Each structure stands twice: as C-alpha cells, then as structure tokens.
Amino acid sequence: MTEMILLGAGASAEADVPTSYAMSREMYPRFQELILPGMRNDYARAFAFIIGGLRFQQSVNWGDPYADVDVETLLSAVSALSDNARYTSEVAQFIQTWHPLISEFDNVPRLKGEAGIFDQVAAIMRQMLVDIVWVEETAKVAYLMPLLSLLRRQIRLVIATLNYDNTVELLTQTHGVVCDTGIERWSETRTFDFAEDGLHLLKLHGSVDWELIYESSTATKPMMVTGLRTLSGQDMRQRKAIRHDENFFARRKGLYEPAVIFGERNKLTAEGPFLDLLHAFKRELAASDRLTVIGYSFRDEHINTCIAHWLHTDARHRLRIITRNFNENQTEFALKLREEAAGCIEVISAKASAGLEQVFGVYEDANAHA
C-alpha cells in the first residue's frame, strides 16, 4: 500500500510554530515596535483596527468576540483595503462611504512613491512570517522522526504540506536524508517531476525561504517570467528577523517577501509554482492508496476538493486523520467526512508526536550508532 502524507498547521505546533490563530496575536507586538521617528505608530493602529473589525464580525455571527483572528482572514481583510483593491473591486461602486478611519489612514504621510498604509501592512505581515515560522533548533523537530520510518519502508515518500516553515527540511538535514522540493527543476522546466525514490516535499502554499525573482528574456527563453530561488540557511539567518530600529523604514525595501500563498482569497494564483504544485499533489494523491493527514483543520477548499475526488474514485482509498479534535471539527468538509465517508476514514485522536509514533513507530537512525 502506497501512503502519502499531508501536513496542516497542527503538525508544526510542537516545533513552536504558531497556528494561524495564534500567529495574528503574535504579530501585533511586532507592529507595536514599528515606530517611525517623530511620528505615531500608524502601522500598529491600522493592524489593530482590522483585528477589531474582524472580532466585531465574529460577535455579530454569534462567535466569541475575544477569540483570536485567523491570520489568513486578517491578511485578506488588509489586502481588500489596499489602495488598488478598494478602488478596482467590482463592488466598489456600491459602497458610498468607508469607515472614517480608513480615510484617516489614507492621509497618513508617506514617502514619495510609497504605497498606502494597508499595502505596507500586508507586505510587513509577509516579511514577519520569516521570523515567526523559521525553525533553527533540531531538537524541536525530533517528534517528526517517525516519518523517516515510513520512508525507510516505502523507499519513496511524498509529503505535502500547507505550512511555510522548514520543519521537514530541518528533520531530513539532521538525519542525512535528501529532501527534494523540486523547486530548482521547476525553475528550469515549469513542471514538478518526482519519479525518483527518496523523500519529496510538496510545499503547496510556498515557503519562507523561497524568493520570487524575475527572469529576463534571452535568445533561448524569449519571455520574461517569474522564477524562484531557495535561500540558504546562512541567507535565512541574515535576513530572518525584521529588526525594528530607527533604520527599519530605510532597510525594509531591501528585505524580501517570501513566496507564499498567504490570505484566504489567494489560494489559486498563476504567479509562481502554486498551480503546478497543486497539479503535482493531485497526481501523487491519485497514485496513493492511503493519505495520512496530520494537524489539518479541513478549511482549504481546494485541498478538500482533491481529497473528496480521490475518495470518490476508489472505495479502497483510505484517509487516516491524526488530530486531537476531529470529532469536534464543525467545518463543512469535516462534517461530510464523518457523515458520508465514515467507512473510509480512520481517526487517531492525538497530537502529532503521539500519533506519528503510534502509526509509524520509532525511527532508529543508523548514523547515530556509527
């Protein structure tokens, strides 16, 4: 039986990578540090304004007004208020007036050629991801070692992840296992081909160590296109944190924005490798008999559709779910799985570390005893 892995945010929680809800809470203190000399902190105020509006929406919809806001919902709201989106949206002509604070933010002094404050907040949020999700300590990813036990049994293992962090890469680097993301080949061929044995990692929503670059046209490649390059560990250590000192605003232009799909309305974008990654995921899933999902909340419509089609095409396909709260998950797709596909799913109510060890066993690293 060929098994494939899908990692959600909960799979990285034990490596101290915040979930999407905790991430928005962690970002606010960082925005508070963004103080332009001699001016008030409009960045933190704009960020807090959006959070307050989303919490108000939660309370209107009978939700908990004190609950954390999903960071992807937060970024989607910030992006919707950007200069371009606000005035080019198909619903713009139906909105007579915006909240008075939005007009006030529009009048915040800006440098020549500088984007509006909501555009800047969105860019800063993406840059903050680097500091928040990049993992350096190898001990933090030891709980993922049972994945290497599965690789040893199958010889070839495809892991798809919805996370931006480097937990799988750090795990494989620590144990001398080659981890192939296919990005270098994609930059040349614009396709993902994982025909070889080994561990293949599909980072469906991108990675904080991927940087978008623009490849100029040449005699053999006539069109200018968007490409990618993977930053080295040394590059990441140098660029990792946004250090908020008095030179921040001058230096921020030199910081890169990681190539990630970040925001609820941005899941299918033609820029970068993301459509090709989704196609590769569907192809690899079709070739698998079992999908083991770890720490996924079933809130991504595109991934859910792929899983639904896969289950529908063969009654022998099996979905294994490792999470602590699946039976309490009230998302539409989780409800459908419990109601319509109960005979095809196996639920292990455990956090990632316990569930992985239960399913795949303890990994014995031969190099550790050499």
pLDDT at 250: 44
Q: What is the mean pLDDT of the chain?
A: 85
Q: Which one has a higher pLDDT value, 7 or 209? A: 7
Per-residue pLDDT tens over the stretch 232-245: 887 787 765 544 44
Q: What domains are there in the chain, each with its CATH number?
A: 3-17+136-205+265-369 (3.40.50.1220), 20-133 (no CATH)
**Strand 179-180 versus strand 198-203 pairing type:** parallel
Q: 3-class SS at 10?
A: helix
Which is higher by pLDDT, 90 or 47?
47
Residue 244: per-residue pLDDT? 43
**Nearest Cα to 135, choosing from 259, 230, 18?**
18
At 151, list the tokens. 């690789």
Type of residue at 311: L
Residue 281 has a pLDDT of 96
Listed residue (170, 107, 120, 165) closest to 143, CA to CA: 170
Whole-angstrom CA distances from 174 to 9, 15, 138, 267, 350 are 22, 15, 7, 31, 25
**What confidence category does residue 251 fall into, taking pLDDT thresholds of 50, 70 and 90?**
very low
DSSP 291-342: EEEES--S--HHHHHHHHHHHHH-TT-EEEEEES-GGG--SHHHHHHHHH-G
pTM of the model: 0.88
User: What does the pLDDT look like over 144-168, one tens digit per residue?
Assistant: 999 999 999 999 999 999 999 999 9
Alpha carbon 289 to chain centroid, angstroms: 26
Q: What is the pLDDT of residues 311-347, one digit of tens each?
A: 999 999 999 999 999 999 999 999 999 999 999 999 9
Least confident of 161-175, 237-251, 255-269, 272-286: 237-251
pLDDT of residue 239: 67
Beta partners for residue 291, in sequence order:
4, 319
Q: What is the pLDDT of residues 32-46, one digit of tens each?
A: 877 655 556 888 889
pLDDT tens-digit readout, 74-101: 888 888 888 777 777 777 777 767 788 8
Element (H, E) at 6: strand 3-7
